[in-house]
Amino acid sequence: MEKLALMALFADFYGPLLTEKQRNVWDLHYQQDLSLAEIAELEHISRQAIHDLLKRTERILEEYEHKLGLVQRFWKEREKLAEVQTLMQGLSEQDFSSSEAWERHCQIGVKIEDIVNI
């Protein structure tokens, strides 16, 4: 996965653990696509300070993931659900003893699809 996408996931999971300033600068740079110079002007600090803050924030997010592993667990769970989804798609109505069982199978399939496609 490309670094920007990975950092975005880290920010989604661990963003609330950052300081307000870290979250704000992260959002301005990565979400609103402002340059370091533009952010520096808004924050009334140097471009180098913004650069350092972003690099420090990246390290913090990486450390949270290293310690907590929430993003890794998220991807593993998605892979497992995708496997279950594939197995369920291999079943047909004839594989079930009643129409109610088939209907429950279909409802479960819809729920799994909703989760996998988040």
Alpha-carbon torsion (50, 38, 11, 14), positive or negative: positive
Q: How many residues does the chain have?
A: 118
Contact 7, 27 (CB under 8 A): no
Contact 71, 61 (CB under 8 A): no
Q: How many CB atoms are located within 10 Å of the residue 114 CB?
A: 9
* pTM: predicted TM-score of the whole model, two decimal places: 0.76
pLDDT in 10s for each residue of the chain, 118 residues = 688 888 889 999 999 999 999 999 999 999 899 999 999 999 999 999 999 999 999 999 999 999 999 999 999 998 998 899 888 888 888 888 899 989 999 999 898 888 888 6
Q: What is the DSSP letter of 117?
A: T
